[in-house]
Chains A and B, each alone.
Chain A
Amino acid sequence: MARNRIKPQGGFELTAWYFMRISGLMLVFLAVGHLFIMHIANNVENINYAFVAGRWANPRTGWIWRLWDMSMIALAMFHGFNGLRQILDEHVHGAKARVAMHTTLWAVMTTLLVLGTYAIWMFQVDKAYVEQFKAMNSGAGSHASVK
């Protein structure tokens, strides 16, 4: 039979409990939408530097994609690392090991979030590179090289 659900009674754990549910619902749209755009609407083999540049550096819609990706990475990082913390909290019992585990999780999460935030907002198109890439890959003739 169904038992009562466990819900934290207050403090950080209750905040985390609500955060996991709210961010989870938002990620259903952000992450599943991202997968749909990248893997169903587009062929994943056509994703390259020029494709990323066309999204992030688009003068009209670029800010929407940057905002989408920023929300997604921030929510996913906190959601994912908090989920991993909850799992490891049940399996890591030593006091020192717990401190080390929490410190590592926070450090890795912060590093990834900083890298992602930097990439999303500091991105500038290397136009010379894109031109060179397009010149090298234009024409159907290169198809023949695939055996």
Chain B
Amino acid sequence: MSTILPEPHAYRPGKLARLKEGLRYQGGIGQWSWLLHRVTGVGILIFLIIHVLDTFFVVFNPALYDHTVAIYGGVFGGQYFWPLRWAFRLAELGLMATVLYHAINGVRVILFDFWSEGCKYQKESFVAVLIVFLALMVPAAVVVILPLASSPDHMVKVPANTPNP
């Protein structure tokens, strides 16, 4: 089933040619699901770089780690800011949506590659991706957003910096 396609014609200089090349499937579900897969992939990678760096704090400075994760709960510099907590909650939901879409659509892409009939059902399978996505995302959104209805359990207080032995 696999074939080498001719060199894409749009490898030409110029912004317009680049844009055409970027939207190479000439519209439709196939193009947008592909573009969304790329955008979510890059988004997850950017988050992952930040996440590896902040988690690295646990081995050399526990207090710095706790100060950092307290920001995610809206506590910054010993003070609580509710918009900060809301922003991180919504970003958390966005991260979950991004990872879920990339995961489910990734399975769809794998089906295209290893099931020779798969490509024929690319539109139908995208509807299936959306259904699975919503089935998982709606309950997840309720769980993630519900804590915002009440104030946080407690103000996080972080001890003074102690170097890790």
Q: Is the CB of B119 within 8 A of A126?
A: no
Number of interface residues of B (CB under 8 A): 62
Return chain A residues, CB-CB under 8 Å to B18. 91
Q: 1/0 contact trace for B55-73 toward A, CB 8 Å?
A: 1101100110110011011
Partner pick for A5 among B58, B70, B113, CB 8 A cutoff: B113
Number of A-B contacts (CB under 8 A): 158
Q: Is the CB of A27 within 8 A of B103?
A: yes
Flag whether A100 is at the interface (Cβ < 8 A).
no
Question: With A and B bound together, what is the CA distance between A130 and B159 in angstroms?
Answer: 9
Interface size class for chain A?
Answer: 35 or more
Q: Is the CB of A124 within 8 A of B165?
A: yes
Return chain A residues, CB-CB under 8 Å to B131. none
B79 to chain A, nearest CB (A): 9
Flag whether A87 is at the interface (Cβ < 8 A).
yes
Q: Is the CB of A129 within 8 A of B153?
A: no
Question: With A and B bound together, what is the CA distance between A132 and B143 in angstroms?
Answer: 31
Flag whether B155 is at the interface (Cβ < 8 A).
yes
Return chain B residues, CB-CB under 8 Å to A40. 140, 143-144
Return chain B residues, CB-CB under 8 Å to A140. 154
Flag whether B86 is at the interface (Cβ < 8 A).
no
Return chain B residues, CB-CB under 8 Å to A7. 2, 113
Q: Is the CB of B155 within 8 A of A146?
A: yes
Question: With A and B bound together, what is the CA distance between A49 and B62 in angstroms?
Answer: 6
Q: Is the CB of A5 within 8 A of B2?
A: yes
Flag whether A95 is at the interface (Cβ < 8 A).
no
Q: Using CB atoms and an 8 Å cutoff, list the residues of chain B in contact with chain A.
A: 1-5, 11, 18, 21, 38, 41-42, 44-45, 48-49, 52-53, 55-56, 58-59, 62-63, 65-66, 69-70, 72-73, 80, 85, 92, 95-96, 99-100, 103, 106-107, 110, 112-114, 119-120, 122, 140, 143-144, 147, 151-159, 162, 164-165
Name 27 A/B residue pairs within 8 A (Cβ), A-sorted.
Answer: A4-B2, A5-B112, A6-B5, A21-B110, A24-B107, A25-B110, A31-B99, A39-B96, A43-B147, A44-B72, A44-B73, A45-B72, A45-B73, A48-B66, A52-B55, A80-B41, A80-B44, A116-B55, A116-B56, A119-B56, A122-B59, A137-B156, A142-B157, A143-B154, A143-B155, A145-B155, A147-B80
8 A-B pairs with least C-beta separation:
A2-B119, A7-B2, A80-B45, A45-B73, A132-B159, A49-B62, A136-B157, A142-B154
